[in-house]
Amino acid sequence: MAGTRRIGLAREAIALADASPDPALLARICSSVLHALWGPDLEATRLRADVASRSIAAAAAAGDLHLEFAVHTAAYTVAIQLADPAGATRSLGRLYAIAGVIGAPLMTWTVGWFEAFVATMQARFADAGRLGRETEAIGLTLGAADALAVFAGQAAVLATIAGHHAELPPIVAQAIEAGPVKLTYHLAHAIASGPKQVASDLLGEAAADGFRNVPPDVMWLTSMLGYAVLAIELEDLDAAARLLAIIEPYAGQIATNLGPAAAYAGRLASLLGRHEVADRHLNSAFEIVDAFDWDYHRAAILMARAAARHRSFGQIDDTARAWLETAAGICVARGLPGMLAAIGELSR
């Protein structure tokens, strides 16, 4: 109900902006409107793309660099969510350019956050770690209220996908102990370093409630994919079937740090023995990450494709072995020891 109300207010705000004589009004409220439209509503998602596009044009026409920076900050996240690499590149390039001209610390902090994200997705972990620490320091100096939360989220993802689970930053565990915290923190902790029973209990409680515990907000898809990771690792078929039905309509989208939803839909479908569906989703996911040039997800999806093929045919054939060899090469070049070990096990 809260999500429906939020989206309704966003639509009302868009209508008022469109009726206003101020051609830049939509751009001025762009960030708030886009945030309100973010959640499990496909029609609202399509509207986000339209609002972002129109706001970019309006901000550029207004000749206000600060306004343009704010719009491209919001538009960048929309482009990532909608798997639009050209749009993401365009917005990030404009953010770099404006930050370089104005040099405001808050702009530097924002660009640093996005740089760290790109470095993580490209498996440039040393760069990602450095950028994360630098960005956190700038945010704390500025007194940014969410500086620690942003750093904690980035650090948790970095430690998890780099295969350094034991190095999960204490800030994440401390945040959970201090409570209350967002569901995504609990999921990150369960995935990265929590005991198996903790993960099983977390998944079981949510599945029993039909995953209605997940708030319909900006982190909805990320949380659902987090549960999918748990279902896959625990081989929980009941939870996997429930989650596949929930996630599949959003298979064309990306959850910022976790990558294409299609990759998780594919892995869930493979676990359930729905091999043609798995192939379709995993192929789509690979096309997305290839377009973004994200090496970590390239390797992860190649391994998932090989595992799905093994589950379908009962063996690692030449096609699957070629995928694993390519994935192993990425792991060696980028430093992904956990995934490399998993590839070795699968190759046997």
Query: What residues does each domain of the chain span?
Result: 1-103
pLDDT classification of 165: cutoffs 50, 70, 90: very low
Give 264-278 pLDDT, tens digit per residue: 999 999 999 999 999
pTM: 0.88
Name which of 124-128, 211-215, 258-262, 331-335 the model is least confident about.
124-128
Measure the CA–CA gap between 260 and 239, rounded to whole angstroms: 20
Q: For residues 323 and 303, is the Cβ–Cβ distance under 8 A?
A: yes
Structure tokens given for 304: 């998932």
Measure the CA–CA gap between 306 and 154, rounded to whole angstroms: 28
Averaged pLDDT, 74-82? 95
Averaged pLDDT, 154-181? 49
Residue 167 has pLDDT above 50, yes or no: no
- Residue 172 has a pLDDT of 53
Averaged pLDDT, 31-52? 92
Measure the CA–CA gap between 156 and 83, rounded to whole angstroms: 23
Residue 98 has pLDDT above 60, yes or no: yes
Residue 224 has pLDDT above 90, yes or no: yes
Of 106, 20, 14, nearest to 52 (Cα)? 14
Averaged pLDDT, 208-222? 90
- Got the DSSP string for 222-249? HHHHHHHHHHHHHT-HHHHHHHHHHHGG
Higher pLDDT, 33 or 126: 33
Residue 85 has pLDDT above 90, yes or no: yes
The CA distances from residue 153 to 59, 107, 142, 288, in Å, are 30, 20, 19, 23
Amino acid at 224: M
Residue 142 has pLDDT above 70, yes or no: no
- Residue 298 has a pLDDT of 95
Q: CB-based contacts of 5: which residues, under 8 Å, 6+ apart?
A: none
Residue 181 has pLDDT above 60, yes or no: no
Give 281-322 pLDDT, tens digit per residue: 999 999 999 999 999 899 999 999 999 999 999 999 999 999
Averaged pLDDT, 45-65? 96
Averaged pLDDT, 59-85? 96
Measure the CA–CA gap between 24 and 18, rounded to whole angstroms: 10
Q: For residues 26 and 51, is the Cβ–Cβ distance under 8 A?
A: yes
Higher pLDDT, 284 or 141: 284
Give 315-346 pLDDT, tens digit per residue: 999 999 999 999 999 999 998 888 899 999 99
Dihedrals phi, psi of 210, to nearest 5 degrees:
70, 25
pLDDT classification of 180: cutoffs 50, 70, 90: very low
